[in-house]
Amino acid sequence: MHPHDLIRRLETNALMFDALTRGVSEEQARWRPEPGSWTLLEVVNHLADEEVEDFRQRVDLTLHRPDEPWPPIDPAAWVVERRYNERALAESVERLLARRDRSLRWLGRLERPDWSRSYTHPPHQGMRASDLLASWVAHDYIHIRQLVRLHRDYMVRCLAPDLETGYAGRW
Protein backbone atom coordinates (compact mmCIF):
# COMPACT_ATOMS: atom_id res chain seq x y z
CA MET A 1 0.00 0.00 0.00
CA HIS A 2 1.42 3.37 -0.99
CA PRO A 3 1.76 6.14 1.65
CA HIS A 4 -0.71 8.23 -0.37
CA ASP A 5 -3.33 5.48 0.14
CA LEU A 6 -2.63 5.39 3.87
CA ILE A 7 -3.07 9.16 4.11
CA ARG A 8 -6.41 8.89 2.29
CA ARG A 9 -7.48 6.30 4.87
CA LEU A 10 -6.59 8.71 7.68
CA GLU A 11 -8.90 11.20 5.98
CA THR A 12 -11.72 8.66 5.66
CA ASN A 13 -11.25 7.58 9.27
CA ALA A 14 -11.91 11.16 10.41
CA LEU A 15 -15.34 10.86 8.78
CA MET A 16 -15.88 7.60 10.65
CA PHE A 17 -14.96 9.20 13.98
CA ASP A 18 -17.42 11.98 13.27
CA ALA A 19 -20.18 9.53 12.32
CA LEU A 20 -19.57 7.29 15.33
CA THR A 21 -19.95 10.20 17.75
CA ARG A 22 -23.03 11.89 16.27
CA GLY A 23 -26.19 11.67 18.31
CA VAL A 24 -24.39 10.26 21.33
CA SER A 25 -25.69 11.58 24.64
CA GLU A 26 -23.32 12.68 27.38
CA GLU A 27 -24.62 9.71 29.41
CA GLN A 28 -23.68 7.26 26.67
CA ALA A 29 -20.36 9.03 26.10
CA ARG A 30 -19.43 8.42 29.76
CA TRP A 31 -20.84 4.90 29.99
CA ARG A 32 -18.28 2.25 30.91
CA PRO A 33 -19.25 -1.33 30.02
CA GLU A 34 -17.09 -2.78 32.79
CA PRO A 35 -14.55 -1.54 35.33
CA GLY A 36 -11.24 -0.72 33.69
CA SER A 37 -12.65 -0.41 30.17
CA TRP A 38 -12.69 2.89 28.32
CA THR A 39 -15.71 5.04 27.64
CA LEU A 40 -16.49 6.54 24.25
CA LEU A 41 -15.34 9.92 25.59
CA GLU A 42 -12.04 8.46 26.73
CA VAL A 43 -11.47 6.91 23.30
CA VAL A 44 -12.14 10.22 21.52
CA ASN A 45 -9.78 12.17 23.76
CA HIS A 46 -7.13 9.45 23.52
CA LEU A 47 -7.31 9.70 19.72
CA ALA A 48 -7.01 13.50 19.85
CA ASP A 49 -3.89 13.39 22.03
CA GLU A 50 -2.30 10.52 20.11
CA GLU A 51 -2.81 12.49 16.92
CA VAL A 52 -0.43 15.22 18.04
CA GLU A 53 1.77 13.75 20.76
CA ASP A 54 2.37 10.36 19.22
CA PHE A 55 1.81 9.74 15.53
CA ARG A 56 2.24 13.13 13.85
CA GLN A 57 5.19 14.05 16.06
CA ARG A 58 6.94 10.72 15.62
CA VAL A 59 6.43 10.63 11.86
CA ASP A 60 7.87 14.15 11.73
CA LEU A 61 10.87 13.22 13.86
CA THR A 62 11.52 10.07 11.84
CA LEU A 63 11.34 11.94 8.53
CA HIS A 64 13.29 15.02 9.56
CA ARG A 65 15.34 14.28 12.70
CA PRO A 66 15.70 10.50 13.04
CA ASP A 67 18.62 10.83 15.48
CA GLU A 68 16.51 12.78 18.00
CA PRO A 69 14.90 10.73 20.77
CA TRP A 70 11.13 10.59 20.77
CA PRO A 71 9.48 12.36 23.71
CA PRO A 72 8.01 9.82 26.13
CA ILE A 73 4.27 9.22 26.11
CA ASP A 74 1.91 7.43 28.49
CA PRO A 75 -1.52 7.17 26.85
CA ALA A 76 -2.97 4.89 29.55
CA ALA A 77 -2.05 7.38 32.28
CA TRP A 78 -3.40 10.31 30.26
CA VAL A 79 -6.93 8.89 30.50
CA VAL A 80 -6.94 9.56 34.25
CA GLU A 81 -4.42 12.40 34.55
CA ARG A 82 -6.09 14.47 31.84
CA ARG A 83 -9.58 13.57 33.07
CA TYR A 84 -10.88 12.57 29.67
CA ASN A 85 -14.20 11.33 30.99
CA GLU A 86 -15.01 14.71 32.55
CA ARG A 87 -14.84 16.57 29.24
CA ALA A 88 -17.74 17.51 26.97
CA LEU A 89 -18.22 15.15 24.03
CA ALA A 90 -18.90 17.81 21.38
CA GLU A 91 -15.76 19.75 22.27
CA SER A 92 -13.71 16.55 22.39
CA VAL A 93 -14.88 15.44 18.94
CA GLU A 94 -14.25 18.92 17.54
CA ARG A 95 -10.73 18.82 18.99
CA LEU A 96 -10.04 15.39 17.48
CA LEU A 97 -11.30 16.38 14.04
CA ALA A 98 -9.38 19.68 14.07
CA ARG A 99 -6.19 17.85 15.01
CA ARG A 100 -6.74 15.26 12.29
CA ASP A 101 -7.35 18.04 9.78
CA ARG A 102 -4.05 19.70 10.77
CA SER A 103 -2.29 16.34 10.43
CA LEU A 104 -3.72 15.81 6.97
CA ARG A 105 -2.71 19.32 5.87
CA TRP A 106 0.79 18.73 7.29
CA LEU A 107 1.09 15.39 5.48
CA GLY A 108 -0.11 17.05 2.27
CA ARG A 109 2.59 19.73 2.51
CA LEU A 110 5.47 17.28 2.87
CA GLU A 111 7.77 17.64 -0.11
CA ARG A 112 8.99 14.28 -1.41
CA PRO A 113 9.17 12.59 2.01
CA ASP A 114 11.54 9.67 2.29
CA TRP A 115 9.13 7.12 3.80
CA SER A 116 11.97 4.59 4.04
CA ARG A 117 13.82 6.76 6.57
CA SER A 118 14.29 4.93 9.88
CA TYR A 119 14.27 6.00 13.49
CA THR A 120 17.61 5.28 15.15
CA HIS A 121 16.89 4.98 18.89
CA PRO A 122 15.94 1.84 20.86
CA PRO A 123 13.50 0.32 21.50
CA HIS A 124 11.98 1.34 18.14
CA GLN A 125 15.27 1.41 16.29
CA GLY A 126 14.88 0.66 12.61
CA MET A 127 11.22 1.67 12.45
CA ARG A 128 10.58 3.38 9.13
CA ALA A 129 8.43 6.45 8.66
CA SER A 130 6.17 4.29 6.46
CA ASP A 131 5.77 1.81 9.35
CA LEU A 132 4.63 4.65 11.58
CA LEU A 133 2.18 5.89 8.95
CA ALA A 134 0.73 2.38 8.58
CA SER A 135 0.55 2.04 12.38
CA TRP A 136 -1.31 5.36 12.57
CA VAL A 137 -4.02 3.96 10.28
CA ALA A 138 -4.07 0.61 12.13
CA HIS A 139 -4.43 2.49 15.44
CA ASP A 140 -7.48 4.26 14.02
CA TYR A 141 -9.04 0.94 13.11
CA ILE A 142 -8.46 -0.48 16.58
CA HIS A 143 -10.40 2.43 18.06
CA ILE A 144 -13.09 2.45 15.36
CA ARG A 145 -13.74 -1.18 16.32
CA GLN A 146 -13.78 -0.12 19.99
CA LEU A 147 -16.29 2.69 19.30
CA VAL A 148 -18.56 0.33 17.36
CA ARG A 149 -18.40 -2.16 20.22
CA LEU A 150 -19.29 0.55 22.74
CA HIS A 151 -22.32 1.51 20.63
CA ARG A 152 -23.48 -2.08 20.36
CA ASP A 153 -23.00 -2.87 24.03
CA TYR A 154 -24.73 0.33 25.14
CA MET A 155 -27.69 -0.39 22.87
CA VAL A 156 -28.03 -3.97 24.12
CA ARG A 157 -27.91 -2.74 27.72
CA CYS A 158 -30.57 -0.10 27.07
CA LEU A 159 -32.88 -2.56 25.29
CA ALA A 160 -32.76 -5.29 27.92
CA PRO A 161 -34.94 -6.89 29.10
CA ASP A 162 -37.65 -5.62 26.71
CA LEU A 163 -35.90 -6.37 23.45
CA GLU A 164 -33.38 -8.99 22.42
CA THR A 165 -30.77 -8.69 19.67
CA GLY A 166 -29.74 -12.34 19.16
CA TYR A 167 -31.29 -12.45 15.68
CA ALA A 168 -28.67 -9.91 14.51
CA GLY A 169 -26.04 -12.62 14.59
CA ARG A 170 -23.04 -13.53 16.63
CA TRP A 171 -20.91 -10.64 17.86
In the chain, where the domains are located: 3-168
pTM above 0.75, yes or no: yes
Contact 50, 75 (CB under 8 A): yes
What topology is assigned to 3-168 in CATH?
Answer: Four Helix Bundle (Hemerythrin (Met), subunit A) (1.20.120)
**pLDDT band at residue 121, thresholds of 50, 70 and 90?**
confident
Mean pLDDT of 82-109: 98
User: Which is nearest to 54 in space by CA: 145, 108, 124?
Assistant: 124
Q: What is the DSSP letter of 28?
A: H
- 10-24, 84-98, 114-128: which has the minimum mean pLDDT? 114-128
